[in-house]
Amino acid sequence: MQTPVTIPVPVLRLPRGPDGFSRGFAPDGRRAPLRPEVPEIQKCPIAQESLEFQEQRARAALRERYLRSLLAMVGHQVSFTLHEGVRVAAHFGATDLDVANFYVSQLQTPIGVQAEALLRCSDIISYTFKP
C-alpha cells in the first residue's frame, strides 16, 4: 500500500534564536504593537513631530529601494570587493532576512570556481552589478 504523497507546510523562516551576546528585550523596554496605534494628543511640538515623521518616511523609502535593488540583482553577475583587496564575481541568488549572508552560485575565486557559496556580509566591503 502506498502512503499518499504529502508536502511539508512551507515556512517563511525559522524562529529567531538568542543573539548570543545580550539578554535581549527591546532596549528602551517598548514593544511594537500589532496594529499602528491611533495617534493621541501629542505632548511634543508639532514641528519636531513632523520632522521625525519625515525622517521615518525617508528611512522607509531608502530601505524599500535597497530591498528592490536586491530583488533586481537576482540572477545577475555581481562583483564583490572583499577585504585585503580581494575581488570575486558570482551570480547572485538571495540574501537571508537580516542580510547577513549572500547566497551566490558560480563564485569565481582566485583559487577556482565554487558552484554554490554563502558570502558573509561582514566580509563584503562593496558590491556592484549592471542590471
Binding site for other proteins (CB under 8 A): 4-19, 23-26, 29-35, 64, 67-68, 70-71, 74-75, 93-96, 103, 105
79 forms beta bridges with 89, 128
Nearer CB in complex with other proteins: 26/46: 26
Give the burial class of 129: count Cβ atoms within 10 A of its Cβ; 0-12 exposed, 13-18 middle, 19 or more buried: middle
Nearer CB in complex with other proteins: 11/41: 11
Nearer CB in complex with other proteins: 113/125: 113
**DSSP state at residue 127:** E
- Please state, in angstroms and rounded to a whole number, the distance separating the CA atoms of residues 40 and 38: 6
Shortest Å distance, C-beta 118 to other proteins: 10
Q: Within 10 Å of residue 106's Cβ, how many Cβ atoms?
A: 14
Q: Within 10 Å of residue 88's Cβ, how many Cβ atoms?
A: 19
Nearer CB in complex with other proteins: 65/83: 65
Shortest Å distance, C-beta 23 to other proteins: 5
Shortest Å distance, C-beta 109 to other proteins: 20
